[in-house]
Amino acid sequence: MTELFDLTILGAGPAGAEAAIEASNWGLRVAVLDEASAAGGQVYRAPQFEPRTGPVDPHHAEGNALRERLERSGATFLRSHRVWDISMSGQRETPQYTVSTMGPSGLTEIQSRALLVATGVTERFYARPGWTLPGVIGLGAATAMLKSAQVLPGRNVVVAGVGPLLSLVAHLIIQGGGKVAAVVDVSPLSEWLGHVPAMMSRPDLLARGAKWQLELAAHRVPVYRGYDISRIIGTTEVAAVELGKLKKDGTVVDRFQIEADAVCMSYGLTPATEVFRLLGADQVFNEECGGWVPVLDDCQRTTVPALYAAGDGAGLLGAAAAPLTGALASLAVAFDLERISPADFARSKTGLDAKLRRAAKFGRAMAKMARPRPALMAAIPDSTVVCRCEDITAGELKQTIQAGAKNINALKFATRCGMGPCGGRVCGEAAAAMLECHGIKRSEIQQFTARPPLRPILLADVTRDFEYSDIPLPEPAPA
Amino acid sequence: MNTMFDCAVVGGGIMGAASAMRMAKGGMKVVLFEAQQLGMGASGVNAGTLSLQIKRVALMPYALKGHELWAQAGDAVGFKECGGVTLAFTQNEAQILEERMTARMKAGAPIEMISGARAREIEPHLTDRIVAASFCAADGYANSSLTGMYYRQLLKDAGVEVHELCSVDEITPSPDQVLLRTGIGVIAAKRALLATGAWTKRLGEQVGTSLPIRVRINTVSVTERMPKIAKKVIGHATGLLTLKQSTNGTVLIGGGWQGTGTPEQGRGKVVPETLTSNLRLAQYAIPELAGARIVRCWTGFEANSPDFMPIAGRMPGWENLFVLCCVRGGYTIGPYMGQLMGDYILGREPELPLFDPIRFQENQHDQKH
């Protein structure tokens, strides 16, 4: 008989892992899944081997502590599990979730009475000529590479885009023995300074950021603020980067080139909303939270019964707030499954709310940096590939929008943009920005319809061993 | 601006768009409303199969005409006449195949029965466990997701006033006009056509006519791009498999396996059990598919009538309301069906007969208002 968990948690990052620990403390039977081979998520990503020269990742110790606590919690941790489908059955008041996964021992289904989505964010890519060259990766991808495999993205790397990841990636490259050719930050200094009051809520993080700036200066790394990459140059690999001053309309002027063999570049983060879309949870577009976010009550409940959301995937708030929203979600699950009294619930909630208010202050400022900036797609050349799975250019998308495609799914139907293996995760924000540049609101642009599999799955993994007689052929329709 | 339209069309799929075009070309002032954007329902999410080997015998003359219209559309809809092979894997299926294909041949489809060995010559990646097969050189496919873009241009050229993302919330017919409460206000037209696929039942009830429409929730899957493994459209004797490899290398797998959901909920959901059976049948036909990666599975709503024949004619009870839905093989036949419907509303004799929904009404003689 299949085991029925109280709670399945998707994602073992700071929100999911903390939620698993908390829920286990409340006596819930918990399964927590992650695609990675260790818990930690993106921020606390575990190294694949112990660093030879001591840890360079500033989050190393915290990550290890989180993994140890999860290990001790009694929650069932299913590492290296990819979720490809989720379905809900049973009564509305007492639903049952079935999560279909591919794990190291093949396909499995996990059943539970509640589901918590803590799947974090995806990077926002805005296409630039040359961005599909080998050697161009996202800032988030770069942190994964540097923290986990401890491999440098290149020998001479341009780090570009927006937000606090710029400093982190540059720091990790320098500490790993690499050279940063330049940091190209879309935000002018004034934008950063505007956030200083909010950042004062976390003097430790502010000080760390300042230290990393000094490190850049010590290594004579040029930092261009209010600049953007206009082009990445190279034939089979990155050879140079063209950049210049960014104007409000998205054009880049006073351009010049610098040599580089790799580029780490992305333009903010946006909640990964596939599961909410798949299960039909109401969502709202809120650029202050990074884009589309699930509609939540004050305890992380979505509009779908027994479906909860926590961490940055529920709205960007940063790594400090993530464990708190995770804990809050677990508290709500424990209460909804009648494992704790209303009094215990209220007491714990008050405590968490207070902590969350403090943590959110810093997180909100960083989330603002990560917001969509559609103007950055306004001036790209027509020949630039936007959907790299299907080779769809900006010109084709523009033409289709002008011919009458008014939302992202109509654009997808007409051009194949977003139909490839990435499921629209790479091109979706850029395509939406292009629609927005044509005067359409994000609420009307909507999101790509989510379809299973949530990640590509091998056909043989679905069909497994079978005989022809195993296929139940229904009565055919009349001829 | 109280324009009186000659006809208001509700629904911007193939049926509605093709009918609207025909009427506009015939001199009518036509307005069309689509709740989503054009061609995003069944017209845009079906597997794109244009196979005469799976068409209803009684609809074969219509299918041959529809096929011609898609051929004329050509590259704009990704039309490919690649031929099609239909397979039987058991003696029983071979018998079904023989019977059904013989009937279709008699109805005018250029189909021939071939051996399993011949099928594998035509399509070398097929399994060697074929008991019998049939072949039709006229079979092919088109890219259904281009339907909306294709008709948007044609409707514009024909002078049809199109309102996308504009739902019709209420239809009030009276003997001399039809009022439609829409997203852009109340619109008056001398007559109206409902071409709303699986959503037609609800609209029919709203004007007091109960149409016996049932909804099927068909599943389609697509692989990522892969080396060439199929040149033809591959089918199964029962019709429970359609498979073709697009020019870009992706393989589309359909066959009418059922998902769940209702049109009112917006979209259906894939059911793991039926998906598994669908993919097993595909893999049984082409074993190399085992190594393909599935990128996406989805469902589309297909409206059906109890006799599996179209509902196409005057709405029972109303002189100035028309309905067109439930056309089995509607992707292939739709463009032609729209022409017939358009002609009928224009007051012309359609080239081939329509399918009067009055056949489903109990008291057929005292229905007219």
- The yes-or-no verdict on residue B114 having pLDDT over 70 is yes
For A390, the closest chain B residue by CA position comes to B248
For B44, the closest chain A residue by CA position comes to A413
Task: Tell me whether residues B165 and A400 touch, CB distance under 8 A.
Answer: no
CB–CB of A13/A44 below 8 Å?
Answer: yes
Please provide the average confidence, as pLDDT, over all residues in chain A. Answer: 95
CA distance B90 to chain A (A): 10
CB–CB of A15/A311 below 8 Å?
Answer: yes
What local confidence, expressed as pLDDT, does residue B362 receive? Answer: 75
- The yes-or-no verdict on residue A54 having pLDDT over 70 is no
Average pLDDT (B319-336) is 96
CA distance A84 to chain B (A): 10
CB–CB of A84/A101 below 8 Å?
Answer: yes
A453 near B CB under 8 A: yes
| Token pair belonging to A54 | 């001591």
- Nearest-by-Cβ selection for B40 from A413, A423, A460: A413
Average pLDDT (A456-471) is 94
Query: Among A312, A355, A313, which Cα is nearest to A331's?
Result: A355
Distances (CA, A) of A383 to A231, A305, A394, A396: 12, 46, 6, 9
What local confidence, expressed as pLDDT, does residue A173 receive? Answer: 96
What local confidence, expressed as pLDDT, does residue B363 receive? Answer: 59
| Token pair belonging to A209 | 């950021």
Per-residue pLDDT tens for B25-35?
Answer: 999 999 999 99
- The yes-or-no verdict on residue B234 having pLDDT over 70 is yes
DSSP bridge partners of A258: A241
CB–CB of A240/A133 below 8 Å?
Answer: no
Distances (CA, A) of B177 to A195, B16, B189, B319: 62, 19, 6, 10
What local confidence, expressed as pLDDT, does residue B266 receive? Answer: 77
CA distance B206 to chain A (A): 27
Per-residue pLDDT tens for B57-90?
Answer: 999 999 999 999 999 999 999 999 999 999 999 9
What local confidence, expressed as pLDDT, does residue A1 receive? Answer: 44
- The yes-or-no verdict on residue A53 having pLDDT over 80 is no
- The yes-or-no verdict on residue A142 having pLDDT over 90 is yes
Distances (CA, A) of A434 to A133, A161, A377, A399: 22, 18, 6, 11
Give the separation between CA A80 and CA B309, rounded to whole angstroms: 50
Of residues A92 and A113, more confidently modeled: A113
For A279, the closest chain B residue by CA position comes to B269
Distances (CA, A) of A172 to A142, A211, A219, A363: 9, 13, 13, 21
Per-residue pLDDT tens for B240-289?
Answer: 999 999 999 999 999 999 999 999 887 789 998 999 999 999 999 999 99
Give the separation between CA A60 and CA A143, rounded to whole angstroms: 12
Provide the residue type at A318 as one letter: G
- Nearest-by-Cβ selection for B295 from A100, A413, A456: A456
What local confidence, expressed as pLDDT, does residue A200 receive? Answer: 86
- What is the interface pTM, i.e. ipTM, of the complex? 0.93
**DSSP string for A392-407:** EEHHHHHHHHHTT--S
3-class SS of residue B281:
helix
Determine the Cα angle at A476 with ends A475 and A478, to 5°.
Answer: 120
CB–CB of B167/B183 below 8 Å?
Answer: yes
B306 near A CB under 8 A: no
Average pLDDT (A406-434) is 96
- Nearest-by-Cβ selection for A457 from B37, B39, B293: B293
**Chain B residues close to A403, C-beta within 8 Å:** 149, 152-153
Whole-structure pTM over 0.90, yes or no?
yes
B214 near A CB under 8 A: no
Q: Which of residues 376-395 of A touch B (CB under 8 A)?
A: 390
B284 near A CB under 8 A: yes
What local confidence, expressed as pLDDT, does residue A56 receive? Answer: 76
Average pLDDT (B11-20) is 98
For A476, the closest chain B residue by CA position comes to B238
Give the separation between CA A427 and CA A392, rounded to whole angstroms: 10
For B53, the closest chain A residue by CA position comes to A479
Per-residue pLDDT tens for A330-351?
Answer: 999 999 999 999 999 999 999 9
What local confidence, expressed as pLDDT, does residue A189 receive? Answer: 93
A282 near B CB under 8 A: no
Task: Tell me whether residues A451 and B145 touch, CB distance under 8 A.
Answer: no
- Nearest-by-Cβ selection for B276 from A390, A404, A463: A463
Task: Tell me whether residues B37 and A453 touch, CB distance under 8 A.
Answer: no
| Token pair belonging to A102 | 């591919």
Q: DSSP code of B58?
A: G
Tell me the pairing of strands B168-173 and B178-182: antiparallel
- The phi and psi torsions of A269 (rounded to 5 degrees) equal -130, 150
- Nearest-by-Cβ selection for B165 from A406, A463, A478: A406
B164 near A CB under 8 A: yes
Residue that has been written with the tokens 């066959």 in this structure: B255
Q: DSSP code of B293?
A: E
A291-297, Cβ contacts within 8 angstroms, sequence gap of 24 or more: A291/A124, A291/A371, A291/A372, A291/A429, A291/A442, A292/A442, A292/A447, A294/A117
- The yes-or-no verdict on residue B337 having pLDDT over 70 is yes
Per-residue pLDDT tens for A211-262?
Answer: 999 999 999 999 999 999 999 999 999 999 999 999 999 999 999 999 999 9
A407 near B CB under 8 A: yes
Per-residue pLDDT tens for A440-455?
Answer: 999 999 999 999 999 9
**Chain A residues close to B148, C-beta within 8 Å:** 410, 413-414
What local confidence, expressed as pLDDT, does residue A478 receive? Answer: 80
Element (H, E) at A247: none
3-class SS of residue A228:
strand
- The yes-or-no verdict on residue B364 having pLDDT over 70 is no
B178-182, Cβ contacts within 8 angstroms, sequence gap of 24 or more: B178/B8, B178/B320, B178/B321, B180/B8, B180/B10, B180/B33, B182/B33
Task: Tell me whether residues A407 and B37 touch, CB distance under 8 A.
Answer: yes
Task: Tell me whether residues B248 and A390 touch, CB distance under 8 A.
Answer: yes
Query: Per DSSP, which regions of chain B are E strands?
Result: 4-10, 30-33, 49-50, 84-88, 111-114, 132-136, 140-141, 161-163, 168-173, 178-182, 185-194, 214-223, 233-236, 242-245, 251-254, 293-304, 311-314, 321-325
What local confidence, expressed as pLDDT, does residue B367 receive? Answer: 47
Give the separation between CA A352 and CA A166, rounded to whole angstroms: 30
- The yes-or-no verdict on residue B368 having pLDDT over 50 is no
